[in-house]
Amino acid sequence: MSVHPSASAASPAARPALSLPRLREMSARGEKIAMLTCYDATFARVLDAAGVDALLVGDSLGNVVQGQPSTLPVSLSHMAYHTECVARANTAAWLIADLPFGCYEASPQQAFDAAVTLMRAGARMVKLEGGGALAETVRFLVDRGIPVCAHLGLTPQRVFALGGFRVQGRDEAAAAALRADAAAMAAAGAAMLVLELVPAALAREISQAHPQMMTIGIGAGAGTAGQVLVLHDLLGLTPGRRPRFVRDFTREPGSAPEAPGLTIAAAVARYVHDVKAGVFPDEAVHAF
Ligand code: KIV
């Protein structure tokens, strides 16, 4: 039986594996964390080799892989399957998997059982959406050795409750609630926090208030410890109007539409470079 070369080739990535202490060290010395979503082995190999620090098996796979209108139909078995695919090809990047809608909100025990499934599939950390109401759950997981990334701001699993994909924390009451949720997640032991569609000044303030909880922004300005994008957005593959916080990294900024684009590997390497150099996001263009 022949083995497809892309399945057997040794990864060119010779860097040491990213761990929580290494990510914390990077963050403490001001090096930005470059994270991307990833859903399969081929992209995991490319992203890992391009030096992406953290791969997120996001439940955005519901949108970009399954063609669903939201992340709500994504199940725990879908997440475990894609986490296994990514884990097989990844050598060094820190691997995070989303707890999907309906699998963690009811009780700490329910969240623990779902997190065990994802950790056994190869995740090193699980992500969940929500604030203070989930503090007990976060503490329960952390006390049992499961690193947790919280997710605040625009939380796509709550899109119907939030009334759409819109910037969160704009008025003072909403900003105060977001600050309180972030403090609750930090106190519960969350090691990371994704801040999605949050005004840049608020994201910067939360990042500075909780340096032990590495903040990763998406549409949250440049003041977070790192950045994440949905891979398909970065590659310019998402149809429709491009959200303001997204940049198509296959195109040189300002290049003519007919100019040849970068390869996927080069576009991902450019993203890593631009995040670390503080060039992306440009708050004048990508922030709220
Ligand atoms: O599921 C996902 O891709 C995410 C990112 C947008 C942070 O949660």
CATH of the domain at 21: 3.20.20.60
Strand ranges, E, within 110-169:
125-129, 148-153
In a domain, 7, yes or no: no
Residue 150 CB less than 6 A away from ligand 1: no
What range does the domain containing 89 cover? 12-286
Domain count, the chain: 1
Q: Which two tokens stand for residue 38?
A: 């990833």
Query: What does each of the 288 residues of the chain score in pLDDT, given as a tens digit?
Result: 344 444 444 445 479 999 999 999 999 999 999 999 999 999 999 999 999 999 999 999 999 999 999 999 999 999 999 999 999 999 999 999 999 999 999 999 999 999 999 999 999 999 999 999 999 999 999 999 999 999 999 999 999 999 999 999 999 999 999 999 999 999 999 999 999 999 999 999 999 999 999 999 999 999 999 999 999 999 999 999 889 999 999 998 888 888 889 999 999 999 999 999 999 999 989 989
35, 37, 64, 158: residue to mutate for ligand 1 pocket, most atoms within 8 A of CB: 37
In a domain, 156, yes or no: yes
> Who's near 113: CB < 8 A, 6+ residues apart?
none
* Count of CA atoms in the C-beta half-sphere (13 A) of 69: 3
- Residue ID of nearest Cα to ligand 1 atom 5: 58
In a domain, 2, yes or no: no
Q: State the catalytic residues.
A: 196
* Ligand 1 center to 59 CA (angstroms): 6
